[in-house]
Amino acid sequence: MDLQLPELNLLKMLPEIFLFLWALAIITFDLGTRRKTGATVGYLSLLGLLITGLILVFTGYGRGFGNMFYNDPLALFFKMIFLGASFMAIGSSFGLTNQKIVNHRGEYFALILFSTVGMMFLSSSNELLSLYIGLELTTIPLFVLAAFFKDNKLSVEAGIKYLVVGAFSSALLLYGLSFLYGMTGTTDILLMKVNLAVTQLKFEGNIGLVLIITIILLLAGIGFKLSLPPFHQWAPDVYEGSPTPIAAFLSVGSKAAGLVAFAKIMVNGLYAFYDPVMRPNDWGVLVGVLAAAAMILGNVVAIRQNNIKRMLAYSSIAQVGYIMIGMVSFNELGLASVAFYIFAYMFANMGAFAVVAFFEDKTGSCQIESYTGLAKSSPVLSIAMTVFLLSLAGIPPLAGFLAKFYVFAAAIKMAQAEGSYNWLYWLVGIGLLTSVFALYYYANVIKTMFFSDADSPYKLSFTLPVFTVIMIGLVGVFLFGLYPEPIMKFASEIPTSLGFIVD
């Protein structure tokens, strides 16, 4: 048998390669200077991310590694999000005075960068094997980061929970992938699409038990990464226990990675199964039910939380519900709205977590009550937090509103176009209804900060990196709320490049 070596075209992977080497260099630098570098490693990591972004812009579209590595609009868009999330996570870790982070800055920042490389690699992979490797490269550093406060019981508990759940979900995913490989005889996602259609024709559209099991396994595997109910229980615990910037990174970066995996395997790979001509909404309804569960459960349970990190965790579960509405409205607006949603969500959520991280570091508390009267003592911080929370709730001039609007618009458009997609109306209805609950608990925090007679005992002043992160968040939330066209235009290239018909 001869092995034909595919064309490598390594230049297309340059951003990933660069960032990986940069992360290694950071560890080496940190060790070489005997950990006396202070904040320098942090600034170096930020610089690395910026350079990677530049390289990314110049790399452009194309393929590498045979057909394993695609730089399509989907990959580029999500890489932007990963770099942004990583930038903001690192920025908000700067001010942290926790001894574990101060003494182990090198590993901490390098692990975030490694995880980012994994996400970037995942978003470019067009093949099950590289997709799986990317997913693992994303999560394994995050296990370590979640348990980073080694002698804090909460952090270690978060670490072990995340580890068991993460490994469990990737085992489920793998078992599903193995069946997919067996059914289609290939690991290339584009080829898989064709082969599945052929297999389906052979069995006259009777997809059989194996495919159902496969779809359930894949859904469970990715659902754990997305914290989609009923696979969500780990999320609040892990967010509460792990260092706050890591919780933020988990809720945006790792979630976006899950979404990419979902878009690639389910929406793109199993394309044949929702092609309206062949089989309408086979597993779409199932995902729709899970999305509804996510919105209801996330928003309702968030109301009774008094720890702000847990509240944000439940809110992020609810947000996944909204995102999944866009995912299951299989039209050209669907995937674009998903991409825009996660983009807007990144600014608001990373910003909110940056405020929480800063507050927690200065006061040692994550309870919502301790925000009482904060507006008087540190107005800028409270106003920033208010804007982020309002954007998460979806209040008009902010990016979060447009994101929700696009998602609902995609669903309604699909429901009107295809009679068999009537259930999307229900989903939109649930989405609108639960938004009201969401507004309640976000407004509760705002009320605590602004409308309270008690004075806050804390007087907080900004440090530069935290200020930068919060500013990036504010600018993003306002700018893309008022002027979404460029991002939306970019986002709408995603479905086209995946072969969706644009009408």
Partner 1 sequence: MLYYLGLAAVLFSIGLFGVITRRNVIGILMSLELMFNAANINFVTFNKFILNDGLTGQLFAIFIVVVAAAEATVGLAIVLLLYRNWRGINTDNVSIMKW
Q: Is 367 near partner 1 (CB under 8 A)?
A: no
* Longest alpha-carbon distance in the chain: 80
Closest distance of CB 193 from partner 1, Å: 17
Q: Which of 32, 38, 182, 230: binder of partner 1 (CB under 8 A)?
A: 182
Residues 395-424 that bind partner 1 (CB under 8 A): none
**To which H or E segment does residue 155 belong?**
helix 153-184
3-state secondary structure of 330: coil
In the set 18, 29, 181, 462, which binds partner 1 (CB under 8 A)?
Answer: 181
> Is residue 457 a contact residue for partner 1 (CB under 8 A)?
no
Candidates 133, 132, 34, 145; CA nearest to 98 is: 145
What residues numbered 295-314 form the site for partner 1, per CB under 8 A? 301
- Give the tokens for residue 275: 């092609």
| Closest approach of partner 1 to the CB of residue 164, in Å | 6
Rounded to a whole number of angstroms, the minimum distance from the CB of residue 158 to partner 1 is 8
Among residues 236, 373, 465, 476, the one that binds partner 1 under rule CB under 8 A: 236
Residue 81 amino acid letter: I
Q: How far is the CB of 254 from partner 1 (least distance, A)?
A: 15
Give the tokens for residue 222.
Answer: 């990715």
Q: Which residue among 72, 240, 282, 360 contacts partner 1 (CB under 8 A)?
A: 240
Q: Which stretch binds partner 1 (CB under 8 A): 183-191, 222-230, 331-339, 364-372?
A: 183-191
Of residues 140 and 466, the one with the C-beta less far from partner 1? 140
Do the Cβ atoms of 75 and 16 come closer than 8 Å? no
Report in angstroms the alpha-carbon separations of 346 from 81, 492, 502. Answer: 7, 18, 27
Q: Taking a C-beta distance cutoff of 8 angstroms, is the pair 340, 424 a contact? A: no
Give 63's strand partners.
70
143 binds partner 1 (CB under 8 A): yes
By CB under 8 A, name the one of 29, 98, 100, 157 that touches partner 1.
157
Residue 172 is a binding residue for partner 1 (CB under 8 A): yes
The least CB distance from residue 14 to partner 1, in Å, is 23
5 touching partner 1, by CB under 8 A: no
Q: How far is the CB of 171 from partner 1 (least distance, A)?
A: 4
Query: How many residues line the site for partner 1 (CB under 8 A)?
Result: 42
Can residue 237 be called a binding residue for partner 1 (CB under 8 A)?
yes
Separation of alpha carbons 291 and 444, rounded Å = 25
Q: Which range of residues in 199-207, 235-243, 262-270, 412-420 is near partner 1 by CB under 8 A?
A: 235-243
- The residue (of 140 and 270) whose beta carbon lies closer to partner 1 is 140
Contact status: 278 vs partner 1 (CB under 8 A) = no
Helix (H, G, I), strand (E, B) or coil at 77: helix
Of the candidates 26, 34, 40, 78, the one whose C-alpha atom is nearest the C-alpha of residue 465 is 40
Query: Does 133 participate in binding partner 1 (rule CB under 8 A)?
Result: yes
What span, in angstroms and rounded, lies between the C-alpha atoms of 202 and 68? 28
Region near partner 1 per CB under 8 A, out of 112-120, 234-242, 416-424, 462-470: 234-242
239 closest CA partner among 135, 313, 314: 313
The answer to the question of residue 209 lying near partner 1 (CB under 8 A) is no
| Region 101-120 residues binding partner 1, contact defined as CB under 8 A | none
Instruction: Please choose, from the candidates 340, 342, 329, the residue with its C-alpha nearest in 3D space to the C-alpha of residue 490.
Output: 340
Closest CA to 11 of 48, 58, 43, 46: 58
H-state helical runs in 33-104: 40-59, 73-93, 99-103
| Stretch touching partner 1 by CB under 8 A, among 80-88, 155-163, 392-400, 442-450 | 155-163
Q: Cβ(333)–Cβ(492) under 8 Å?
A: yes
Region for 65 from its dihedrals, namely left if φ exceeds 0, alpha if ψ lies in -120 to 50, beta otherwise: left
d(CA 440, CA 101): 35
Q: With respect to partner 1, which residue has the nearer C-beta, 9 or 178? A: 178
Asked if 174 touches partner 1 (CB under 8 A), the answer is: yes
Smallest CA-to-CA distance from 315 within 435, 465, 450, 493 is with: 435
Stretch that binds partner 1, among 78-86, 173-181, 196-204, 394-402 (CB under 8 A): 173-181
Q: Which member of 39, 154, 417, 475 binds partner 1 (CB under 8 A)?
A: 154
Sign of CA dihedral 312, 263, 417, 274: negative
Helix, strand, coil in percent for the chain, rounding step 5: 75, 0, 20
Q: Does 231 bind partner 1 (CB under 8 A)?
A: no
Position among 9, 28, 103, 178 found at the interface with partner 1 (CB under 8 A):
178
Kind and range of the H or E run holding 62: strand 62-64
**Which residues of this protein are in contact with partner 1, per CB under 8 A?**
1, 3, 128-129, 132-133, 136, 140, 143-144, 147, 150-151, 153-154, 156-160, 163-164, 167-168, 170-172, 174-175, 177-179, 181-182, 185-187, 236-237, 240-241, 301
